[in-house]
Structure 1
Amino acid sequence: MLKIIDIYILRRYLMTFTVMLLMFIPIGIVIDVSEKVNKMIEKNIAIGDILVYYVDFTIYFANLLFPIFLFLSVIWFTSKLANNTEIIAILSSGISFQRFLRPYFIGATIVSIFALIMGFFLVPKASKGFNDFRYENLKGSNKTRETSDIFRQINKDEYIYVSNYNYLSKTGFNFVHEKFNGTQLVERVDANRIRYNEETKSYTLYNYNKRTIGEFNDVLESSSKEIKEYNFEPDDLTPVIYVAETMTIGQLNDFINKERKKGNANINTYLVVFYKKFSLPVSAFILTIIAVAVSSMKRRGGMGVNLAIGICIAFTFIFFDKVFGTMAEKSSISPLIAVWFPNTVFGILAFYLLRNAKR
């Protein structure tokens, strides 16, 4: 049963975290508006669409940065408790340091469950709305959602390429489809433009050229327009992280299983997004322990020293998270190990700091 001291700390925990979000999210919105207001006015975007975009923006970035906001908020209010000698009074009353941590764990549990639900269901929808708006209205006149070249392996022996792709019109440019037999190229299709037909689940290729590689002679086919059926979906032409971020946990799991059967070379990228949905809430507990251990003692420099230490730890955590996530996507390192490595390292750090804090 919660005591008065538990309710007091828990209320401070949740209130400070909420205030931290309410302070920084509007700042992010103001910065985003200042960068994009010219394009919004130029394209005469409806106010309603802009408001929906910023609702999605808020959910997307609150989920992305919530561990850091949580970490800094815990350091902030725990440092105030320490500076006011409230922690000394609590521990002097006979309450153990472990018992003192109980309301912190309850707060971290509440925040983690909320973050887990958001990551599974709300954030994918917000990510889709956020990125759709950006690529439709804010990425230049051609409205392509990816300017760099897009390569995909659609099964064991087939590869596709487009120079860029418009998700909203389901149109790609400079399309290439190659089919191999082992390491031997047996067929290549080129088209200036490819468009997906939702009604017939087929593709229309413009300025179509096909070369079938023969043992002695090649067979060439050409036409101004050709309708073909291919064993890939329009989502195979979208940026891989973007696709994964817009799916709920069930959809993402099914998508990963389908792509694994097709031998998709980008499977690690999808797995990184999948595992992060689980690792992000766990980081709330680890960062809470570190924040309490760092800020629970009264320091000569006051709250500023605790905040400086906290910011250094927070940026180190972000660095580890980004570096190992990228390593999993670009190398042979296991995505599971890469995603959970920062939590493991900082979990050990949390245990060490907690032992010293108890002393």
Structure 2
Amino acid sequence: MKILDQYILKRFLYNFFSSFFILIVIFIFQGIWLFIDDLAGKGLGIVIIGKFIFYFIPTLVDKVLPLTVLLSSILTFGTFAENYEFAAMKASGISLQRGMRSLIVFVLFLGVVTFFFANNVIPKSEQKMFNLRRNIAKVKPAAAITEGVFSDFEGTGQGMNIKVDKKYGEQDRFLDNVIIHKKTAQNINNTVIKAKTGELISSEESDIIQLVLKDGHYYEEISAKDGKERRKYPFAKSEFERYIINIDISELNDQDLEEDGNITTDKMKNVGRLIKDIDSLGKNNLEKVEAFSKNIVNRMGAFPPPPRIDTLQLVKNEAKEIEKDSIEEAPITDTDQLLDKLQEWQRLQVVNNAKNSITGILNTVVSKKDELQKRYKFYNSHILSLHNKYALAFSCIILFFVGAPLGAIIRKGGLGLPMVIAIVLFLTYYFIGVFAGNYAKEGNIHPAIGAWLSTLIMLPLGISLTRRATADRGLFGFGHIFDRIKSLFKKKDKDSEEEE
């Protein structure tokens, strides 16, 4: 490697690792605010919090790495241009492409490493972080209660679901508007408890957590063997000012925070697993749609299958038709003809039955539509994640070819103008990717387009900037436009002089 290549590569690597470290710290602090409710005030040790941050860092690479490549390339080539080092290179016969040669090799290698990282490290990190959050919630029951939704307490041996509108106070011990569903041994909800307020009382020395409920109601279904008794006394109801539920967490104190659970989301899967699941999900969705369509057709009675033809019976029927002296009535081909043959009460009954049948079918279609939309959204998210792994690697390469010539054009180093331009370009790239990804999940565009759209938009920009930097043009070249306008006016003046 020549001295020039070593010099350019060293300057780029210095800016690359400096920018990466600064940006990763910024994004870590931004991410901590997202999970502050899961970590703060839960009595967690510094080791557990450190593990959580360690697992969280790889998930930031898809945001930090493209921005790092873009910023470091602008900084490096902007400093070269500002210090007239590029002018010295060009005077020596060294073009921009020749000066970028060592960095192109590095960026290509970085793209390969990025794909390996996105395929192996990030899915494992997502799974570790998910399991750590879940297991923390198991060890700390207060953390297991999520505001606004029902939270399961299966592992406590109590078998209950708890929902609260609000948590507040020290370690979220105070609860507002508590709803509890207790379960039987057969996993059936037969008891409902509602209270205006609640409080979680625990002690480090005890394996029992007390849930103290105030100003509430208690409903319980009566499990009677006799059907008559069940109809006579369907449930028991009572009011209370104070009600205490003891929750045994002795089994949870031995919970392993590093225990791995099932892979549940597309972000936790590598390329091989995604391809396999995409194939199985696609087939399963088609089977669901076909089965549902057949069910609706059967319920509607539309498009019935053709009956099997019995040839012997057909001959007998034809013989009977010949022997008939009377002419049969014409077959019914219209709904009005059918209704005219019925009495008024029969017509009302037929119409009401038809309305009820259609209403039931429409309700079934609407509910099934929501289910199928969720299934296809899950399916689209898998395709999107698969292509995102490839797009992330290529985005690092494309953004380098955007940042390097852009730095040579603006001829500014430091963290002023280059930082502003890098952030604006990255935000454009990032938000295009976010909007395209959301559209792809909803099925408005193909998931592959949603993953590649932001990168494909940056590709022509990189080609254009590279050509302008090679030709030593400015960022916005309007001169050739004015020259064309002037040439048009000159041509008109000549034409007018020749006519005279």
State the AA in 2 paired with 1:99: R
Residue 188 of structure 2 is aligned to residue 206 of structure 1: yes
Question: Take 2:141 and 2:460, find their aligned partners in 1: how far apart are those partners?
Answer: 46
5 Å matches for 1:1-359?
2-30=1-29, 32=31, 40=39, 42-137=41-136, 141=142, 143=144, 205-207=187-189, 243-263=265-285, 264-265=375-376, 266-297=378-409, 299=411, 304-359=416-471
State the AA in 1 paired with 2:423: I
SS across alignment from 1:42: coil
Question: Which of 1 and 2 has greater Rg?
Answer: 2
Structure 2 CA distance for partners of 1:311 and 1:42, relative to 1, 3 Å: closer
On the 8 A contact 1:82/1:296 being kept in 2, the answer is yes
State the AA in 2 paired with 1:19: S
Pick the structure with more strand per residue: 1
Scaled by the length of structure 2, the TM-score of the pair is 0.51
State the AA in 2 paired with 1:78: F
| Range 87-96 or range 31-40, more displaced | 31-40
After superposition, what is the alpha-carbon deviation per residue over 1:166-200, rounded to whole angstroms, capped at 9, x for unaligned? 9999x9969xxxxxxxxxxxxxxxxx799xxxxxx
**Structure 1 gap segments, 5+ residues each:** 149-162, 175-191, 195-203, 209-233
State the AA in 2 paired with 1:251: R
Question: Take 1:358 and 1:168, find their aligned partners in 2: how far apart are those partners?
Answer: 66
Question: Take 2:108 and 2:160, find their aligned partners in 1: how far apart are those partners?
Answer: 45
Structure 2 CA distance for partners of 1:350 and 1:235, relative to 1, 3 Å: same
Structure 2 CA distance for partners of 1:54 and 1:302, relative to 1, 3 Å: closer
Aligned to 2:370: none
1:318 is displaced (CA, Å) by 0.7
Structure 2 CA distance for partners of 1:146 and 1:43, relative to 1, 3 Å: closer
Question: Take 1:326 and 1:42, find their aligned partners in 2: how far apart are those partners?
Answer: 34
Aligned to 1:222: none
After superposition, what is the alpha-carbon deviation per residue over 1:257-311, rounded to whole angstroms, capped at 9, x for unaligned? 2212211422111111110000011011110011011111354898633332222
Structure 2 CA distance for partners of 1:235 and 1:132, relative to 1, 3 Å: closer
State the AA in 2 paired with 1:323: F
Question: Take 1:96 and 1:326, find their aligned partners in 2: how far apart are those partners?
Answer: 42
Q: What is the total number of aligned residue pairs between the two structures?
A: 289
Structure 2 CA distance for partners of 1:340 and 1:29, relative to 1, 3 Å: closer
State the AA in 2 paired with 1:141: A
1:95 is displaced (CA, Å) by 1.2
**Structure 2 gap segments, 5+ residues each:** 163-180, 191-260, 286-374, 472-500
On the 8 A contact 2:123/2:269 being kept in 1, the answer is yes
On the 8 A contact 2:380/2:441 being kept in 1, the answer is yes
Residue identity (%): 23
SS across alignment from 2:416: helix
| Range 333-342 or range 118-127, more displaced | 333-342
Structure 2 CA distance for partners of 1:36 and 1:83, relative to 1, 3 Å: same
State the AA in 1 paired with 2:436: F
On the 8 A contact 1:283/1:343 being kept in 2, the answer is yes
SS across alignment from 2:188: strand
1:324 is displaced (CA, Å) by 0.6
